[in-house]
Each structure stands twice: as structure tokens, then as C-alpha cells.
Amino acid sequence: MRLARVTAFVIGLIGAAGVCAGGAMAQTGAAALAAPFSSAQDKQAKPDGGALFKEHCSMCHISGGAKGNAAPAIEVLGQKTQEEILRALESGAMVIYGNRMAEAERRAVAAFLSSNTSNSAALAMANLCATKKPITSSGLQDPENWSGWGVDAVNSRYQAHTSISADNVAGLKLKWAFGIPDASTAYGQPTVVGGRVFFGSGDGTVYALSAESGCTIWTYRAETTVRTAITVAAAGANRALAYFGDGEANLYALDADTGKLAWRVNVGGHRSARITGAPQFYGGILYVPVASNEELSGGDPDYPCCTFRGNVVAVNGLTGELIWRGYAITEVPHATANGESHAKFHPAGAAIWDTPTIDVKLGRLYVGTGDAYVDPAADGTDAVVAFDLATGKRLWVQQKTPNDVFNFGCLDPRHLNCPPQIGPDVDFGSSPILVDLGGGHRVLLAGQKTGVMYGLDPDDGGKELWQARVGKGSGLGGIEWGSVTDGRNVYAANSDISTLTSPGATPPPPGGLAAIDIRTGKLLWKTMPPKTPCEGKPGCSGGQLAAVTAANDVIFSGAMDGHLRAYAAADGKILWDFDTQPDFKTVNGVAAHGGSMSGGGATVSDRMVFVASGFTVTAGMPGNVVLAFELPPH
């Protein structure tokens, strides 16, 4: 999904869910980061970082890329640390460009873009908790917890076990702020379990904080960016494990009490694989979605494009043993005949960015998939796919946008590895939501970057029941990262920050939150964002890409303008509006401010709301803060 790419990772900048990047992972990252940037060049001429940036990167980061999706401007890159930039060039989103340079040249580019060096190891351990209460069995089972992506196995993103409501949400006050060291993007959606807040970060550090005070209980450093939400689950009678994935498809299990590693296994099955969706835990098994950077690799003329197929793996939660792997595209990639295709292999694509949804009744799981990397596009791309929970067999597929083919070779004027007809890149990037309507009827809700929400019948092969449009849609438009349902309506946020329009046409205004009746597909209301004070600031936009969250009759939606807003479920009225952009005094002493919000959304537990702010993808504004809000005492 280009959002997870077009810079996306200059999401890379930082690794996770990048513009000019992808491909074979360089193996020099850890060693390179260990060496100081000031080391001599062994009597060789010092590389010109500015000239190298112009040669390899300026097409995207100065000219604005292609298809209306602008990579972070050079001013935004300058707010990153040298380590963030180097990491993206060596093992993250910009790796196909980093691979074209020597180590000294990559360092020169990083130094050209930023004067900031890192001290994250020391900063990560600031403000340690004086006492550390263990996670108890009752704490692990508390219904007020928010574990993983969607709070439950059907990915509803609805928290009923809270006192927050439309009547009192305006009383939310900031309780504490935590600064993520040396970061310009706050990746991980907070998880709240047993009085602790868990989240990952761009440099791979996973944090466990006290939900009450924000003090640090423990940290763990993964191999690379941790963008997934953390899933915490019982592992035996007296133990809880925290599960997450990283930008190189490593799956981790940590002791949730101590942060010590229980096991780690790479589940990618492909050199470009990555994990962006949170693992789903059910019945002692982890169901893990696998996405890829290979779409980015298509920009390298020497890369044998393309062979990755989006898949889900089932893993034993206690041991990390792989149980099965199910592919969204069933056909095995094979070499193309001369003249048969623009690329060297097919089929490929259908990355799975979202957390799987569990159907206990039928013993199935559902995911949304991304576009094709090569033509012809396989049927499993831009689709909702059902897998057998026990075996991983693909059971049915509902493709909504055929012939959607895109890779980063299409950004090159020579159209390297690019099909004659470039697709719109309209993935299903958010998790499907399963709802029991009663009376033997159910609906599977699936939002797409086309700006359309679908109601599908899970009991009839995913047959379409209705569809509702909430936005114009495009590669960065429409429904991006996640919607929410209260069992009556589905609430979908709209992006449209770079909607494709015909030449001379005026694009629609970005943003908006819509309510749709889940039985009929009728659009009930849509509220557009108010004019924001940051209008005109680089990266500021009214687009609402972040996942949406509900607490009783309140809907929370974060926007690219840095505002977290609470809406009345009844009519869409804005009840509370908090600007996360200012500088905050943090509990750990790290200088921090908020920025755009995308990817994960707010999480709710008891009387508190937690959110991460800062996202330098495409039009985003940088930030590095996690905020905790609380209702005042009764």
C-alpha cells in the first residue's frame, strides 16, 4: 500500500509500513550504526552527501514523486536523526537506493540531511519505575484492557468497558506525555494490559510503561522498526507474553512482566517480507499477517521483479513453531516468457498489511490484501480473502479492484518493471470487522482505499450485501488503516489527501468521518474536519488516515493536522478536540511534540485514552510523543 510505502517508509524513515526503496536487505546496518559518523574515511576523498542525495533521492523528496504522492520534503528529513536515515538506507525502506552506494556514501547522505546524532540507548532507560507491579491473572483478563489491534478477535475496535461517554468526554485532560527518543514518527498503537502500556518504535525499541504515571518498567530492542501493535496474552497459568513483529518479518515473544525474550523466529519466507499488522492471538495460536517491501524493489532495474505473495502464518504461541502458511495468491510465481510481461516473474503482490479477523463460528480468518506488483494481477489482490483457521487453505476471495498493478519501477520515466497500464494502488489496508446482526445474520465490514466500505456475507462466500462511499479514493485516499463498529453502525475515516483527479479538476477536500448503517449500507452522517490552524504548514492536512476507535457512544479519530477529536456517535458532532502538535513536558525528560496521526489509532482503558502522535509519511508532520488522557475524578 503506497501509504505504507511512499516514503512509506521513509517509514522507514523507518523501517516499518518508503518512497524510494525496497528489495534485498543490506546486512551492514547494525555494524554501521555502531560506528561513529565522525570516523575518518581512510585517506579517501570524503563523499559529497548533497550530490549523492541529488543523484539518488531528489526525484522523490524534492520533485514530489509521482501520482500526487509526495515523499517527505528535505526539511522533514532534516528533523530525523542520522541513525534513522542510515537505517532506512541500509535495511529499511530506502534500501534499493542505499544498495547503490558504498557505506561511506550512505553516511554522507545521512550527515548531509541531518546534524542530529542519537543517544537513544541512554534516553530509553530514563525515568525507570521505582516499583513494578506484576501482571496478575485477573489483570490479564480485565475487560478494560486493550490488547493488540482491534481489542477483540473480530477487530471491532470498540471499548464498552469504560466510563467515557458522550456526556463526559469533553472533560478529558492530559495526564502524562512520554517522549520517544530520536524519533520523528510515533509508530506503535498503544496496548493497555494489566496497568501497563506497551508500544514499539522506529529504532526497534519496545516500551512497557506504567499506565498510571508513564514511568518505564522495561525496554527491549528488536532488530529493526516495530510498527505493529503489541498483543499480550496468557502463556500458561502464571505467565503473559507480549507478541509483535518487525520490519524484517521477525516475530517476537517477550515475557510481558520482565521484557526478557522468550523466543524469536523469522516468519517472512521471502527476503523482502515485513510485518505491519499486529499478530492475532486465538486458542494458543498466533495468526500473523505478512506484507512486503518488494513493491519498492521494482524500482531497481537489476531486481528480478517480482515473487512475493502476501500470506498469513499460524505460529504456536508458546514455542514459535510454524504450523501453516496460507497465501492470498495460490499460484506459485514463475518466470515469464519473452514478451509475456513487463516483469521477470509473476504473479506477485497482495501484501497483507492488516491484522487477521477470527470467525469462531466457521473456523475461518479474514484479511484484506494489497495491489499486484506485476501483471497480470492475480485474483487475490485488492481483495478480502478467507482462510481455513486449522489448515491455512484459501477458501474464498472477493476481489473488488481487478488489474491494479503497481511497483516503484513505475516512478522511473523508463517505467522499469512497470505494466503498460499503471493501477490506482487501492489496497484493503485495514482489518475486516465481523459483526453478528442477530437472527442468524452476520456481516463482514471491509473498507478500501477507493473510499468505499463494503458489507459482505461471511456465510455466503463473502457475497456483497451493500457498499457505501465515504470518499473519492486513491493511492493515499479513501479508507486507510481501520474503522470501528458499535454493532449498529460502522464509522469510517476518510483520507483523500492526494486524490487523483482528471487534469484541471479540483480535488475534493480531505478528511471526514462517516457513519454507515451496517444492515443497509445507508450513509447516516459525515462530519468534515474544521479548518485547522496549521493550514499551510508542510505536511499539514485534514486527511483522516489513522484507525478509528469507539468508547461507548464516542468515536475517536486522529488526523494529519495533529488533532485527536471525539465525535458523538449519534450525529457526528465534535465533542472534544485536542491539538497534539505543541511541545510537551515529558515524564522521561525527552524533548517531544506531536504531529500527524496515521496508522494506529487511540486506545481506551477504564477512564483513560492513549494515543501516539507523529507520522512522517507523505504529507505528514513529524512527532515523537505518546499521550495519556484521563477523565477527572468523580
What is the number of alpha carbons within 13 Å of residue 354 lying toward its C-beta? 36
pTM attached to this predicted model: 0.87
> Tell me, what's the pLDDT at 6?
36
Q: Does the structure show a pLDDT above 90 at 119?
A: no
Residues in the chain: 634
d(C-alpha 277, C-alpha 77), whole Å: 25
- pLDDT of 11 reads 32
**Domain residue extents for the chain:** 2-80+82-117, 278-424
CATH of domain 278-424: 2.40.10.480
Q: Do domains 2-80+82-117 and 278-424 have the same CATH topology?
A: no
- Residue 431's Cα: distance from chain center in Å? 11
408 phi and psi, to 5 degrees? -75, -5
Band (pLDDT 50/70/90 cuts) for residue 106 is: confident
pLDDT at residue 347 above 60?
Answer: yes
Cell 478509528 locates to 548
Band (pLDDT 50/70/90 cuts) for residue 9 is very low
For residue 413, is pLDDT > 60? Answer: yes
Choice between 46 and 479, residue whose per-residue pLDDT is larger: 479
Q: Pick from 171, 167, 172: which is nearest to 570 by CA?
A: 167
CA-nearest of 516, 523, 519 to 483 is 516
**Residue-wise pLDDT tens digits, 260-308:** 999 999 999 999 999 999 999 999 999 999 999 999 888 888 889 999 9
DSSP string, 161-194: SBS--TTTGGG-EEEEEEEPTT-S---PPPEEET
Compute the average pLDDT of residues 528-543: 88
pLDDT tens track for 551-566:
999 999 999 999 999 9
Residue 57: band (very low, low, confident or very high) from pLDDT cuts 50, 70, 90: confident
The pair phi, psi for residue 483, each rounded to 5°, is -115, 180
For the chain, what is the largest distance between any 2 Cα atoms, rounded to a whole number of angstroms? 78
- Which CATH code fits 2-80+82-117? 1.10.760
Cα Rg, the chain, nearest whole Å: 22
Q: CB under 8 Å, gap of 24 or more: what pairs does 386-391 form?
A: 386/359, 386/458, 386/461, 386/462, 387/312, 387/326, 388/326, 388/363, 388/364, 389/282, 389/287, 389/358, 389/359, 389/363, 389/364, 389/365, 390/363, 391/324, 391/326
- What pLDDT score does 504 carry? 65
Answer yes or no: is pLDDT of 434 > 80. yes
**Does the pLDDT of residue 386 top 70, yes or no?**
yes
User: What percentage of the chain has pLDDT greater than the value 90?
Assistant: 66
- C-beta neighbour count of 238 within 10 angstroms: 12
286 forms bridges with which residues in the sheet? 281, 315
Task: Check residue 18 and give its pLDDT.
Answer: 31
